[in-house]
Amino acid sequence: MTRGVVHRPTTVVLLALMPLVGVACADGGRLTDPVEVTSPPSTEAAGIPECTDAQAAAIDPLASYDPLSPMPADGQMPSGSPMARIQDNRRLVVGVSGDTLQFGARNAQTGRIEGFDVDLLREIAKAIFDVGNDEVDNFIEFVIIPYSQRLPKLEAGEVDVVAHTMTINCRRWNRIAFSAEYFRAGGALLVKNDSAATSLADLGGAEAIVCAPAGSTNLDYLATVYPAELTLVVPDITDCLIALQDGTADAATGDNTVLAGLMAQDPNLRMLEGDLLTQEPYGFGFNAADVDLARYVNGLLERWIDDGTWQELHRRWLGGAGGG
């Protein structure tokens, strides 16, 4: 099916996120033990085909598939659809972060994975299985993956959906399917409080080492504007936190949403002020063959905006009602 301009709710797209410093706690039932996955740092970045000039000119990467119409009633998924397959498996297998505060992170007190991305995934499972908050965690399997395994896990069919602060772009559309945009973040820089740097140019002038996680759009951007010999590539964003703390790196680049979580863990770090380096529109990722699952989730996104679910989850985890 050819993608068109989806009837996506414009209120899903947020203005640039202000730094987050708190870690919210959510109510909920038992969470199945998450599966930890590790990977070499180059897995995703090495395999993404570049967009041709024609693709880049002709295709809006934020244009997803139209929502299913009509949308099936909760728990009544169409025969032969990806949603029916998930029902038959009695679980929705999801790829998430285990260390991105406010989006997908393990609560140190409870051991549960929680956050904005995680709760949106719960909403998908609630609709597919027609269950409530008290039961939904019995129908989800959380697979904790680093940035570089988000696309490979989808392509291999090992997860049904990824919600992992994942940016929608043309290159990734060459490998997977995306939902409509559900959140807007931006690329930024993290430095130590005593750093004199105020910009990426300052860091370059000081020959500072800048850390970025493999498989990220932040690394893609850095590669176009910063010397490779001054770039430290690591498997995941928390490795950049360690590199900053032990002096291996002088700065780190990532989405402001993610860097805010690192700041919450270490008060000796600050985010550079000023314009965002990049725009990072987040979407749910699916196997390229699961177009109807993408269309179904796009319908859910519209419903969540209409009934206030998206706004409530944003308020719970990120503060404020959101919108844009």
* Cα 209 from Cα 108, distance rounded (Å): 31
pLDDT for the residue 8: 37
The CA-based diameter of the chain, rounded to the nearest angstrom, is: 60
Enumerate helices (H) and strands (E) in the chain, giving the number of each: 12, 15
Alpha-carbon distance 152 to 154, whole Å? 5
Distance of CA 186 to the CA centre of its chain: 12
Cβ contact 117:144 at 8 Å: no
Instruction: Return the pLDDT at 298.
Output: 98
Q: Following CA atoms 45, 46, 48, 51 in sequence, which dihedral angle do they give, to the nearest 10 degrees?
A: 100
pLDDT of residue 1: 55
Return per-residue pLDDT of the chain as tens, 324 residues: 556 544 333 333 333 333 332 222 233 322 334 444 433 333 343 345 567 777 766 678 888 999 999 999 999 999 999 999 999 999 999 999 998 999 999 998 998 999 999 999 999 999 999 999 999 999 999 999 998 899 999 999 999 999 999 999 988 999 999 999 999 999 999 999 999 999 999 999 999 999 999 989 999 999 999 999 999 999 989 999 999 999 999 999 999 999 999 999 999 999 999 889 999 999 999 999 999 999 999 999 999 999 999 999 999 999 854 432
How far apart CA 208 and CA 251 sit, in angstroms, is 7
One of 3.40.309.10, 3.40.50.720, 3.10.129.10, 3.40.190.10 is the CATH number of 10-49+57-184+281-318, namely 3.40.190.10
How many of the other CB atoms lie within 10 Å of CB of 192?
A: 16
Nearest in space to 304 (alpha carbons), one of 316, 294, 315, 313: 313
Per-residue pLDDT at 60: 83
* Helix, strand, coil % over all residues of the chain, rounded to 5: 35, 20, 45
Q: Which CATH entry fits the domain spanning 186-279: 3.40.630.30, 3.40.50.2300, 3.40.190.10, 3.40.50.10490?
A: 3.40.190.10
- Domain boundaries in the chain? 10-49+57-184+281-318, 186-279
d(CA 304, CA 27) in angstroms, rounded, equals 19
Model pTM?
A: 0.81
Q: Judge if 10-49+57-184+281-318 and 186-279 fold alike in CATH terms.
A: yes
CB 280 within 8 A of CB 86: no
Alpha carbons 45 and 280: distance in angstroms, whole number:
17
In whole angstroms, what is the distance from residue 88 CA to residue 82 CA? 10
Outline where 148-283 has alpha helix (H): 150-155, 170-173, 200-205, 217-225, 237-246, 256-265
Query: What confidence score (pLDDT) does residue 37 get?
Result: 43
The answer to whether residues 69 and 265 touch, using CB atoms and an 8 Å cutoff, is no
- The helix (H) or strand (E) run that includes residue 254 is strand 251-255
Q: What pLDDT shows up at residue 322?
A: 41
Can you read off the two tokens belonging to residue 83?
């949603």
Cβ within 8 Å of residue 221, ≥6 positions away: 187, 253, 277, 278
